[in-house]
Structure 1
Amino acid sequence: MNRRMTTLVAAGILGGSLALAGCATGAEDDTAPSATQTEDAHGGHGSHEDMEHPADGGPVPAGMTEATDPEYPVGTEVTLTADHMHGMDGATATIVGAYDTYTYSVDYTPTGGGEPVTDHKWVVQEELENPGDERLPDGAEVTLLADHMEGMEGVTATIASSTDETVYVVDYEADGMEMTNHKWVVESEMQPAS
């Protein structure tokens, strides 16, 4: 009886710890991303459960404006401080593109259903349907053209936050997996490689 009680108490403590770990979120401001966004075992942006991110992010959308004088030019090695993906924080990355645009964190429910995705970082203005030229306000509803994750393309999303920082495409390795053309990382989510 005593052994059973010990097992039940241990299971309760473990379950409570897991529940608390799953509730971690970060407060956002206009330009600085949070360092405490949630991650899952599959490496998602925001709260993606059972969603895979492709190893090759592919080309950038048509119409992107290359940054004329980015802090980190193409070819520069940097250390990532973002934690969008499992193993990303602290990884060494190489800049493969730098762009001037508006960049958004969005909340949406995947087309196939499932758990809502919150605080997906990032989609750019050029990955939204008919966004116009102006920065869109927090709370605006948009249609996503991005296909970073399964079930993302074509959904209606709500803008959670935005920034006009230079946004980058990077190559990096995390947990033995090569990520190429990863979209997107904003300037405040990286630092010079040490």
Structure 2
Amino acid sequence: MKQKKWATTLGAMLLATSLAACGDTGDTTEEDQAIDVTEEHNAEQEEAHGTMDHSGSDEVPDGLQEASNPTYPVDSTVVMTADHMLEMEGAEAKIVGAYDTTAYAVTYTPTDGGEPVENHKWVIHEELDTTEDAPLADGTEVTLRADHMEGMDGANATIDSSEETTVYMVNFMLQDGEEVTNHKWVTEDELEPKE
């Protein structure tokens, strides 16, 4: 009799545990968490790049050298894989300039009092107020001479990372039909050939 009672109690406990596991506990799945992270990333990008001057002039900083043999020549069409700006990833772009330099990801506080911008990609060596040779070490403090975003020119910044590469100036279309011209900068590893 004791065995039967013990088996019944064990069975009831297992059934209760199974039902509790199947119930809605309010926990999110890995897929839901991934969606939340993606939405949060997109919102951060929109906020960080909301004041970005998507289009720019075709002028480049003094001393910037044109690439002699770029992987993607001027006038070629590519697909961007970069996601540091909304609507960039997957967009087709036309190469309008190719230059050999050092590209930096930087963290800076805008001069117009905006929130700090972390890991902004990209500022090139020729857009820094420095007499030091490239590449600068991670953690180096510099003054920016780029105007990609409001409050960037003259801002104090810290080098987060650097990459010696070919950078490209590109034209592309946003999803709303706005044409972005002379966008600075996309690095070589953020581009793929158009198939």
Alignment CA distance shift 1:125-1:131 (3 Å): farther
Q: CA deviation at 1:113?
A: 1.6
**2:42 aligned with 1:39:** no
Matched with 1:189 is: 190
Matched with 2:88 is: 88
Larger Rg: 2
Native 8 Å contact 1:79 1:190 kept in 2:
yes
Structure 2 unaligned blocks of 5 or more: 1-25, 27-32
Residues 50-69 of structure 1 aligned to structure 2 (within 5 Å): 51-58=50-57, 59-69=59-69
Native 8 Å contact 2:53 2:150 kept in 1:
no
Identical-residue share of aligned pairs (%): 50
Residues 15-164 of structure 1 aligned to structure 2 (within 5 Å): 20=37, 24=41, 38-40=44-46, 48=48, 51-58=50-57, 59-164=59-164
TM-score under structure 1 length normalisation: 0.76
Find runs of 4+ consecutive structure 1 residues off by over 3 angstroms. Answer: 16-24
Alignment CA distance shift 1:71-1:20 (3 Å): closer
More helix by share: 2
| Structure 2 counterpart SS, 1:147 | coil
CA deviation string 1:151-190 (max 9, x = no partner)? 0110110001110111110001111111100000000001
- Equivalent AA in structure 1 for residue 185 of structure 2: W
Alignment CA distance shift 1:145-1:68 (3 Å): same
TM-score under structure 2 length normalisation: 0.76
Native 8 Å contact 1:168 1:183 kept in 2:
yes
Native 8 Å contact 1:37 1:84 kept in 2:
no
Q: CA deviation at 1:146?
A: 0.3
CA distance in 1, matches of 2:157, 2:35: 28
Native 8 Å contact 1:56 1:180 kept in 2:
yes
Native 8 Å contact 2:81 2:191 kept in 1:
yes
The number of residues matched between the two structures is 162
Structure 1 unaligned blocks of 5 or more: 1-8, 10-15, 25-35, 42-47
Q: CA deviation at 1:85?
A: 1.6
| Structure 2 counterpart SS, 1:60 | coil
